[in-house]
């Protein structure tokens, strides 16, 4: 023992831990225990569940305070049950089609003051653009004429008589 230090034997090397067979977020290891998500909506099952154990009964007998979202779930369930009942009525009457109906074309609306103003603004924008192009072209021609005048040997021939 030197200067108050205790000499300990070296630690054995760590053995690698086996990797888990499933991710930490997965609850069930057996895929047979989980039900695959379905894209099909079973309307009869939703209606039966809402009739047997409606949220209205659960929210009325709640012994704690309810949030707005809880109340809205109750309202949405009632609305969905009414919609499903109406769909069943239409199916029994033979009026419920599985095809999507064609979207109707809306009638053309008349021009308003705002539409006329937008048309005027579009025309004015085009007019300004064209005028700028005209001015640039005129400036180019004028600058070329000035350049020719100063580069010419006989300037008297290039002068315009007024």
For the stretch 60-103, pLDDT in tens is: 787 777 788 888 888 898 898 898 889 888 888 888 877 777 88
**Residue 17 in domain:** no
**CA pair distance 92, 112, nearest whole angstrom:** 47
Residue 128 sits in the same domain as residue 85: no
Domain count, the chain: 2
**Residue 63 in domain:** yes
**Residue 113 in domain:** no
Reference 145, options 162, 131, 159; nearest CA is 159
> Which two three-digit tokens encode residue 91?
């199916």
- Whole-prediction pTM: 0.36
Residue 128 sits in the same domain as residue 89: no
Domain that holds residue 160: 121-162
């Amino acid at each position: 023992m030197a200067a108050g230090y205790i000499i300990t034997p070296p630690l054995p090397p760590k053995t690698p831990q086996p990797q888990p067979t499933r991710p930490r977020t997965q609850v069930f290891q057996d895929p047979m225990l989980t039900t695959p998500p379905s894209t099909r909506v079973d309307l009869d099952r939703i209606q039966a569940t809402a009739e047997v154990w409606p949220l209205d009964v659960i929210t009325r007998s709640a012994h704690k305070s309810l949030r707005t979202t809880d109340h809205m779930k109750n309202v949405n369930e009632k609305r969905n049950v009414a919609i499903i009942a109406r769909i069943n009525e239409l199916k029994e009457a033979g009026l419920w089609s599985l095809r999507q109906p064609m979207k109707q074309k809306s009638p053309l609306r008349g021009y308003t003051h705002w539409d006329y103003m937008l048309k005027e603004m579009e025309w004015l924008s085009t007019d300004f653009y064209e005028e700028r192009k005209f001015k640039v072209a005129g400036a180019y021609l004028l600058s070329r004429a000035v350049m020719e005048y100063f580069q010419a040997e006989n300037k008297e021939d290039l002068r315009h008589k007024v």
